[in-house]
Chain A
Amino acid sequence: MAGKAERMTGARAFVECLYRENVEIIFGYPGGVLLPIYDELYDAHLYHLLVRHEQAAVHAAEGYARATGKVGVCLATSGPGATNLVTGIANAYMDSVPMVAFTGQVPSSMLGNDAFQEADITGITMPITKHNYLVQDVKDLPRIIKEAFHIASTGRPGPVLVDIPKDITTDELDFVYPDTVELRGYKPTFKGNVQQIKRAASVLKGSKRPVIYAGGGVIGSEASKELLAFAEKIKAPVTTTLTGIGGFPNDNELYLGMPGMHGTKYANYAIQESDVLIAVGVRFDDRVIGKATSFAPNAKVIHIDIDPAEISKIIKVDVPIVGDAKHILASLIDHVSECNTKDWLDKIATWKRDFPLFYVNRDDVIKPQYILEQINEVCPDAIIVTEVGQHQMWAAQYFKYKEPRTFISSGGLGTMGYGFPAAIGAKLGRPDKIVVDVSGDGSFQMNSQEMATIVQNNIPIIIAIFNNGYLGMVRQWQALFFEHRYSHTTIENSVDFVKLAEAYGAMGIRVTKPSEVKAAIEKAVEANGPVLIDFIIEREENVSPMVPAGAAINEILDLEDIQ
Chain B
Amino acid sequence: MRHTLAVLVENKYGVLARVSGLFSRRGFNIDSLAVGITEDPTISRMTIIVSGDDHVLEQVMKQLNKLIDVIRVIDLSSEEFVERELALIKVNADANNRAEIIQIVDIFRARIIDVASKSVTIEVTGDIEKIKAIQTLLKPFGIKEMARTGIVALKRGSKSL
Contact = CB atoms under 8 A, between A and B. Distances in A.
Interface string A293-309: 00000000000000111
Contacts, number: 40
A267 to B, nearest CB: 28
A123 interface: yes
A126 B14 CA distance: 9
Interface residues of B, number: 21
Interface in B70-87: 70-71
A307 B18 contact: no
Interface string A119-136: 000110011001100101
Given A126-B17, A136-B13, A185 B62 contact: no
Contacts of A185: 9-10, 67-71
B25 interface: yes
A513 B86 CA distance: 78
B66 interface: yes
Contacts of B66: 307, 309
A58 to B, nearest CB: 21
A136 B21 CA distance: 22
B63 interface: yes
Contact of A312 (B13, B21, B55): B55
A126 B21 contact: yes
Nearest to B68: A131
Given A123-B17, A185-B10, A130 B62 contact: no
A4 interface: no
Nearest to B43: A184
A309 B67 CA distance: 11
Contacts of A309: 59, 62-63, 65-66
Given A151-B68, A185-B70, A313-B59, 17 more contacts: A122-B14, A123-B17, A126-B17, A127-B22, A130-B68, A131-B69, A134-B14, A136-B13, A185-B10, A185-B68, A185-B71, A186-B68, A308-B65, A309-B59, A309-B66, A312-B55, A312-B58
Contacts of B67: 131, 185
Kindly name the residue among B10, B17, B21, B68 whose own CB sees the greatest number of chain A CB atoms within 10 A. B68
Given A308-B62, A309-B59, A134 B13 contact: yes
Nearest to B70: A185
18 contacts: A122-B14, A126-B14, A126-B18, A126-B21, A127-B21, A131-B68, A131-B69, A136-B13, A151-B68, A185-B9, A185-B67, A186-B68, A308-B65, A309-B59, A309-B63, A309-B65, A311-B62, A312-B55
A308 B65 CA distance: 9
Kindly name the residue among A127, A134, A151 whose own CB sees the greatest number of chain B CB atoms within 10 A. A127
A19 B18 CA distance: 31
Interface in A178-201: 183-186
A24 B22 CA distance: 35
Contacts of A183: 68
B64 to A, nearest CB: 9
A127 B25 contact: yes
Contacts of A123: 17
Interface residues of A, number: 19
Nearest to A311: B62
A160 to B, nearest CB: 9
Interface of A: 122-123, 126-127, 130-131, 134, 136, 151, 183-186, 307-309, 311-313
Interface string B1-31: 0000000011001100110011001000000
Interface in B121-136: none
Contacts of A184: 10, 71
Contacts of A312: 55, 58
A433 B16 CA distance: 46
A134 B9 CA distance: 18
A122 B69 CA distance: 14
A351 B88 CA distance: 71
Contacts of B13: 134, 136
A186 B9 CA distance: 11
Nearest to B42: A184
B149 to A, nearest CB: 25
A400 B145 CA distance: 69
B17 to A, nearest CB: 7
A312 B58 CA distance: 9
Contacts of A186: 68
A184 B70 CA distance: 9
Nearest to B72: A185
A185 B73 CA distance: 10
Nearest to B62: A309
Nearest to B8: A185
A131 B14 CA distance: 11
Contacts of B18: 126
A136 B14 CA distance: 12
A334 B66 CA distance: 31
A563 to B, nearest CB: 40
A97 B65 CA distance: 20
A186 to B, nearest CB: 5
A373 B19 CA distance: 49
Nearest to A183: B68
Nearest to A188: B66
